[in-house]
Amino acid sequence: GQSLEQPSEVTAVEGAIVQINCTYQTSGFYGLSWYQQHDGGAPTFLSYNALDGLEETGRFSSFLSRSDSYGYLLLQELQMKDSASYFCALGAGGFKTIFGAGTRLFVKA
């Protein structure tokens, strides 16, 4: 089957850079996505990697290494509003997506 592992919590200071890692196991790879979820809110799409390398979208970047079954989300110029949970999600083939348990990011002033 498929599984993902990510840290449960990360704390960083406003203005800093933080990296949230995600390792995965899968028999067939269809891409790795990242979603953000604020407390009480719905998940919203951030970024997607199908191929190795870095994808940049404003302050957010996502990296993938398929040979290492590893990816990360990089958040730059952290703001207080970035305090949220971040989920990596694995394309599981067909129409299914498997989500990790999430990393809760605390941004301190």
Partner 1 sequence: NAGVTQTPKFQVLKTGQSMTLQCAQDMNHNSMYWYRQDPGMGLRLIYYSASEGTTDKGEVPNGYNVSRLNKREFSLRLESAAPSQTSVYFCASREGQGSTDTQYFGPGTRLTVL
Least distance from partner 1 to the Cβ atom of residue 15, Å: 28
Q: How far, in Å, are 5, 48, 107 from residue 91 at the CA level? A: 15, 10, 29
Distance (Å, rounded) from C-alpha 67 to C-alpha 56? 21
- Contacting partner 1 (CB under 8 A), which of 10, 21, 26, 48? 48
Residue 10 sits in the site that holds partner 1 (CB under 8 A)? no
Least distance from partner 1 to the Cβ atom of residue 31, Å: 3
Residue 70 sits in the site that holds partner 1 (CB under 8 A)? no
Stretch that binds partner 1, among 51-59, 62-70, 76-84, 89-97 (CB under 8 A): 89-97
CA torsion 6→72→42→107, rounded to 10°?
90
Instruction: Sort strands 3-5 and 18-25 into parallel, antiparallel or unpaired.
Output: antiparallel
Query: Which residue type is seen at 31?
Result: G
Q: CB nearer to partner 1: give 3 or 79.
A: 3
Q: Are 22 and 10 in contact (CB under 8 A)?
A: no
Binding site for partner 1 (CB under 8 A): 4, 8, 30-33, 35, 41-45, 48, 50, 87, 91-102
